[in-house]
Structure 1
Amino acid sequence: MIRIATPDDLDAIAALHAEARASYYRGHLPEEAFNSPAEHARTREGWAAAIERGAVLCAVRDQMVAGVAASREVDGVMTLTQLHVDPKRWRSGVGTALHTACVEAWQRAGVGDVRLEVFEHNTRAQAFYARQGWLPDPNEPRAGNHLVLRLTVPPVAA
């Protein structure tokens, strides 16, 4: 089930986010960059604000948050800011279900183009996004140590 996240989901979302980020940052960035009390507090504040805006979707499996996605407009461009799946749930369809729900929400909102940034060493996520139709941004291929991808949102089928 995919649903809008509520404040009651915040602890589970923050924990899932921390575990997912550690899976691809560890060995590439200093541990304190993603696994410090200050970083966890900053992340939690960001998720709390996104949940309050109603901008977070969560995938629930076996009564637990198994994945989470958030998007918002950044500098005038719809941006998929987060999409994380509990590493224990990888390759189970959770990410695809979340992505599909995001695309449907963008379609309802009339969004035609979406941007995201993916860590350059996160090849698993890059392959996932490629399967979903995301392509390298020809105008801005990189943002620091992240690759920039774009998705043309298909129109709603008549």
Structure 2
Amino acid sequence: MISDRVTGALVIRTALPTEAGTIAELHLKARSTYYPDGVPQAGLDWAEAWRGSIERPDCQVLCAIGQGRIVGIASFRTPDGVGPDTVELFQFHVDPSHWRVGIGTALHAACVEQWRADGRRAAVLDVHTGNLRAQAFYARHDWVPDPENPFTEGDHHRYLRRAVRTGE
């Protein structure tokens, strides 16, 4: 489990259940940038959903703390129907007011570090087709189209995969 990991002025650590409301706010702020007509499931109690994720034994939520506040979040877990060597990056968001300053890269590196420590060999995720910024970010970090879930015209998400190698 990752404890505090300092990267310059940025600290990446495991999220606390008491931070679920703040995490939910960041989540909604980030998602609204690629859902201009409104975030799906807007009526959901996102704070409670994040609290549940933080407390799930099969899920880990990391947060990036910059200047005393949460500026990035990532959650990952073992997806249903796959072996324990694969992890799903379920949510990955950086506060839009902090884009392009290295927070996402540092948070992603912390995720990969944890996956290696956990003995994972592959990671999967899905990204909204309209979220071109995120797709470019993932491509820069060695994510490729998942051959097991190819994109089909009309899909709302693209499925990506990344090898998790040891000793990199």
* Post-superposition CA distance 1:105-142 (Å, at most 9, x none): 00000000010000001000000000000000112123
2:39 and 2:114 map into 1 onto residues whose CA distance is: 35
**1:1-158 matched pairs, under 5 angstroms:** 1-27=11-37, 31=38, 33-34=40-41, 36=42, 38-39=43-44, 41=45, 43-53=46-56, 55-75=60-80, 76=82, 77-142=86-151, 144-157=155-168
* Post-superposition CA distance 1:53-108 (Å, at most 9, x none): 36100000010000000000112241000000000000011101110000000000
Identity level (%): 43
Q: Is the 8 A contact 2:20 2:48 kept in 1?
A: no
5+ residue gaps, structure 1: none
5+ residue gaps, structure 2: 1-10
Q: Is the 8 A contact 2:28 2:39 kept in 1?
A: no
1:32 and 1:120 map into 2 onto residues whose CA distance is: 14
Q: What secondary structure does 1:11 align onto? A: helix
The offset of 1:32, in angstroms, is: 6.0
The offset of 1:45, in angstroms, is: 2.6
Distance 1:32 1:68, change over 3 A: closer
The structure in which a higher percent of residues are helix is 1
- Quick one: higher RCO (CA 8 Å, sep 6+), 1 or 2? 1
RMSD: 1.6
Q: What secondary structure does 1:67 align onto? A: strand
Q: What secondary structure does 2:32 align onto? A: helix
User: What letter is aligned with 1:81?
Assistant: F
Q: Is the 8 A contact 2:31 2:39 kept in 1?
A: no
2:39 and 2:150 map into 1 onto residues whose CA distance is: 27
- Using the size of structure 1 for normalisation, the TM-score is 0.89
1:141 and 1:88 map into 2 onto residues whose CA distance is: 33
